[in-house]
Amino acid sequence: MELHLILFFMICVAIAAIQMQDLISAVISLSAVGLGLCLAFLLLKAPNLAITQLVVEILCVVILIRATIKKDLPLVRDGRWFFNTAAAFLFIGFFLFFAYSALRELPAFGAPLMRVSEWYLTEASSRTGATNIVTAITLNFRSLDALIEASLLFAGIVGVLAIVRKKGKVNEE
């Protein structure tokens, strides 16, 4: 049921982002979609995807706000700063509430939730010969996943550098 509510919230906020007249509000509404996706990953017991989604979402929002702040400032010109401040505090409050709810639901440290994680804890070192369970899981069982995550992070860094770079001088010779 919670997943359905989060998906409904994501659809509503995405439609609101499309209907927004100014770009800054659309970027912030779009970031709420990413936050909803992060919460959905937490509900689906995929914390690594939730953390990656949250980090990528924060980077994308910062880049999009930086790209649109000079082009679109109607909220500042119209004097609606009270609405912006109230909406920001409301968003922070919801985020802190959901973060507290998610952290409260985490199991005790070392208590596996599923049989797969229990197998990883008991058999990973002996099957791979690695001295560390994290190394055994990351490099042997999830190496393709780690390679794809590293590629995505690299592509994100290249994208950030491409957007924030300064334009070079034109040689007029």
Q: What is the pLDDT of residues 53-72, one digit of tens each?
A: 888 888 778 777 777 776 65
What is the predicted pLDDT for the residue at 139? 73
Better-scored residue on pLDDT, 96 or 23: 96
Q: Are 62 and 13 in contact (CB under 8 A)?
A: no
Between the alpha carbon of residue 121 and those of residues 103, 108, 125, 142, 144, the distances in Å are 22, 15, 8, 14, 20
Position 172 pLDDT exceeds 70:
no
Mention every residue, 6+ apart, whose C-beta is less than 8 A from residue 87: 28
Instruction: Name the DSSP letter for residue 108.
Output: P
Query: What pLDDT digit, counting tens, does each position of 126-146 carry?
Result: 888 877 787 777 777 777 877
- The token duo for 153 is 């992070």
What is the predicted pLDDT for the residue at 157? 85
As a whole number of angstroms, the distance between CA 45 and CA 12 comes to: 24
Position 77 pLDDT exceeds 70:
no
Average pLDDT, the chain: 78
- The token duo for 63 is 């880049």
What is the predicted pLDDT for the residue at 109? 73
What is the predicted pLDDT for the residue at 34? 86
Q: How confident is the model at residue 169 (pLDDT cuts 50, 70, 90)?
A: low
Query: What pLDDT digit, counting tens, does each position of 145-167 carry?
Result: 778 888 888 888 888 888 777 66
Q: How confident is the model at residue 20 (pLDDT cuts 50, 70, 90)?
A: confident
